[in-house]
Amino acid sequence: MRYDAIMRTTITLEPDVALRLKRQMAQKNISLKRAVNDALRVGLESGGRATVPKFRVKPHRSGGFLPGIDPDRLNQLADELQVDEFLKKASR
């Protein structure tokens, strides 16, 4: 494969990406071709890893369960709620 050849292709851009490219084109006064190539170079050089802010779980102190709720049987409660919902939809 030759790496010095120009490759022509058609791509479909998602709306947010298209908007960001248009902004880059306007800010830097560059063509779409250059904006896309620059963005791809940056992405490929980073190994495709986007910089995503770290997610942090904030613990919450609970007051516990209400009387009559057994935490060991929550799956059973979820199953019962799903059955109830299914029966409501099936009877319509």
Q: For the residues 68-82, what does the mean pLDDT come to?
A: 85
Cα–Cα distance, 75 to 18 (Å, whole number)? 45
What pLDDT score does 25 carry? 95
What pLDDT score does 35 carry? 94
CA 78 to chain centre: 27
Cα–Cα distance, 88 to 60 (Å, whole number)? 34
State the pTM of this model. 0.47
**Residue 59 scores a pLDDT above 70:** yes
Q: How confident is the model at residue 20 (pLDDT cuts 50, 70, 90)?
A: very high
